[in-house]
Amino acid sequence: MKLEGRTALITGSSRGVGQQIAMGLAELGAKIIVHGRRTENIDQTIDMLGKYDVEVFRVEGDLSVNTHISKITGQIVDKFGGVDILYNNAAIMSSFEENIWEHSLEAWEKTFRVNLYALYFMCSAFIPGMIRRGYGRVINLTSGIKDQPELAPYSASKAAVDKLTQDIAVKLENTGVRINILDPGWLKTDMGGPNAWYDVGEVLPGALVPALIEDDGPNGKLFSAIELKDTKL
């Protein structure tokens, strides 16, 4: 129970990678805040978490909508005062079939609102409290995607996530808060598709490693869940 007493928010944890991370953190004893856009998907994750003896809280909202983000963060602060662990996992991606020259402005804007802007607002809502308390772990999910011009809005947003994470890391030196980047690998999820290289369950235990580092551990660095899949927690 290495994370007993810690509170963890995993955005986009109603399915896929986020759902796996939520279960892995629960097994380590963390209180879990499940987030999703749809009630029925959140219900499924909460049912799956029932086998763990941890507190579970739910928040619902569309991360492309600013008022939803404010509502989510406000509910969490009211309930817990903040979080100790933040996985910015939620993301959207356009279709593989779209032409690189035909992405609409609306598609670009929504992708960046969910994949980058919401991530920033989650960080700004919770990192100051982590600094005051002297402890925090922020894990921003990135992608190893390359040579896929049809997915330009997604890949560009993930490149921006990497840069933003490295910039925020500078502000966290000499604190007990660490922020890092996690590449989950190409996984068989709704986003990754059926031809992906790995089953979604293979994201564990590697995805949990950046939540377990020491207060003076890596900061602004890249972790690969697949490369760490043989880690003993």
CA distances 169 to 73, 116, 185, 214, Å, are 21, 16, 23, 15
Task: Single out the catalytic residue among 87, 135, 154, 198.
Answer: 154
Task: Looking at mean pLDDT, say which of 59-73, 91-105, 136-150, 186-200 comes out highest.
Answer: 59-73
Whole-structure pTM value: 0.95
Q: Which residues pair with 224 in a beta bridge?
A: 183
pLDDT greater than 80 at residue 113: yes
CA distances 214 to 66, 87, 129, 140, 217, Å, are 33, 17, 18, 17, 5
Cα separation of 10 and 36, whole Å? 9
The residue behind tokens 């290289």 is 197
Q: Are 204 and 20 spatial neighbours (Cβ–Cβ below 8 Å)?
A: yes
pLDDT of residue 89: 96
Cα separation of 195 and 51, whole Å? 31
Q: Are 97 and 45 spatial neighbours (Cβ–Cβ below 8 Å)?
A: no
Helix (H, G, I), strand (E, B) or coil at 1: coil
Give 201's pLDDT tier (boundaries 50, 70, 90). confident
Q: Which fold has domain 7-224?
A: Rossmann fold (3.40.50)
pLDDT of residue 147: 78
Domain spans of the chain? 7-224
Residues 95-131: b if buried by 16+ CB within 10 A, e if exposed? eeebeeeebeeebeebbbbbbbbbbbbbbebbbebbe
135 is catalytic: no
pLDDT greater than 90 at residue 18: yes
pLDDT of residue 145: 79
Dump pLDDT digits (tens) for 146-200.
Answer: 778 888 999 999 999 999 999 999 999 999 999 999 999 766 566 666 665 567 7
Give 1's pLDDT tier (boundaries 50, 70, 90). confident
| Summary mean pLDDT of the chain | 93
pLDDT greater than 90 at residue 85: yes
Cα separation of 174 and 86, whole Å? 19
pLDDT of residue 196: 59
